[in-house]
Structure 1
Amino acid sequence: MQTRELNGSDAARYYELRLEALLTNPDAFITTYEQEKQRPDPIKSTADRLDSKTSRTFGLFSEETLVGVVTLIKEAHPKFAHKASIVAMYITPENRRKGGAELLIQEVILFSQAIHLEVLHLSVVTDNQPAKKLYEKLGFESYGVERKAIKLPDRYLDEEHMALFLKQ
């Protein structure tokens, strides 16, 4: 498996993987499959997002197939410019538990260090134990749990907020 930063030319395959993610793990994302499908000109808007300067998306490839993604969103305000958030992490079910998620997060960490970020934040649904264990293994520390962070039609989900300090 290999990782690389995605760009606008990857829009079609990213969009297809995004739709899969929203169908496969709907509780892990705020956006719903229906919302994503209703987006006007989804390939163009996806290409624009992938070419954005405020966020960077990294892909995990098995041979030539995109099998995982993660996005890093940098804070824009000058007083927060030392921080970024990791969002939209997804690995296809058949490629999980093979080390790909760790490769993706390590890629994000290396990129963040290269652009002199100091703090990375992420949130994970509290019952997603495999993800929490991975983030802890890579040095992320919990700094709180938000109860009822996500409201679904039939229940609420709590989110654990985690941070990695790249510069002490």
Structure 2
Amino acid sequence: MKIIALSKENVNEYREIRLEALRNNPEAFSSSYEEEKEMPDDAFANRLGNEASITLAAKDESGLLGVVTLVREQKKKIAHRANIFAMYVTPEARGKGVGKALMKEIIERARKYEGIEQIYLSVMSENEPAKKLYASCGFQVYGNDRRALKIDGCYYDEDMMNLYLV
């Protein structure tokens, strides 16, 4: 397995794993499969080809095993912050260190960006494996967003976590 930065050339692979993530774990993302399946390839490509973000993927000979995106804040007053979005590991790759490898690499990339001092993410409150992974990387819960998502009449809470780099 290797960790790579995705570019616009990876749009088809990225679209496939993104839609899989939304289908498999709708409670883990604010976007929905129904919304994103209709999006053109250009919309997915734009996520991979801009200066404000980087999407990393774990890849082996079978294809993408997982992805994670880091988005740097652009406004001057919050330019010291970045956010992690769209973390996903395929069911077949879970429990094999893929998520940990992605998180370690995205944190290292964030450390190399000039001015990034802290990273934020949110995670479904009941997702203990993900919360354990993030905690093992140094993230701490700083709040809870009750009823953050509503899917088919069911509410899901999210824990908000952060990591201070300096």
* TM-score, L = length of structure 1: 0.95
Structure-2 separation of matches of 1:34 and 1:135: 28
Aligned equivalents of 2:97, 2:61: Cα separation in 1: 15
Identity rate of aligned residues, in percent?
Answer: 44
Counterpart amino acid of 1:25? N
Please name the residue that 1:163 is paired with: 162
Could you report, residue by residue, the CA deviation over 1:103-136 in whole angstroms, capped at 9, with x for unpaired residues?
0011111100011311000000000000000101
1:44 aligned partner: 42
Q: Please say which of residues 124-133 and 60-69 is displaced more in the overlay.
A: 60-69
CA distance, structure 2, for counterparts of residue 139 and residue 58 of structure 1: 19
Is 1:136 aligned to residue 112 of structure 2?
A: no
- 3-state SS, counterpart of residue 141 of structure 2: strand
RMSD: 1.0
TM-score (normalised: structure 2): 0.96
- What SS does structure 1 have at the residue aligned with 2:160? strand
**How many residues are treated as equivalent by the alignment?**
165
- Shift >6 Å, 4+ stretches: none
What residue number does 2:121 align with? 122
Measured in 1, the distance between the counterparts of 2:87 and 2:131 equals 12
Which residue identity lines up with residue 118 of structure 2 in the other structure? V
Matched, 1:67 2:65: yes
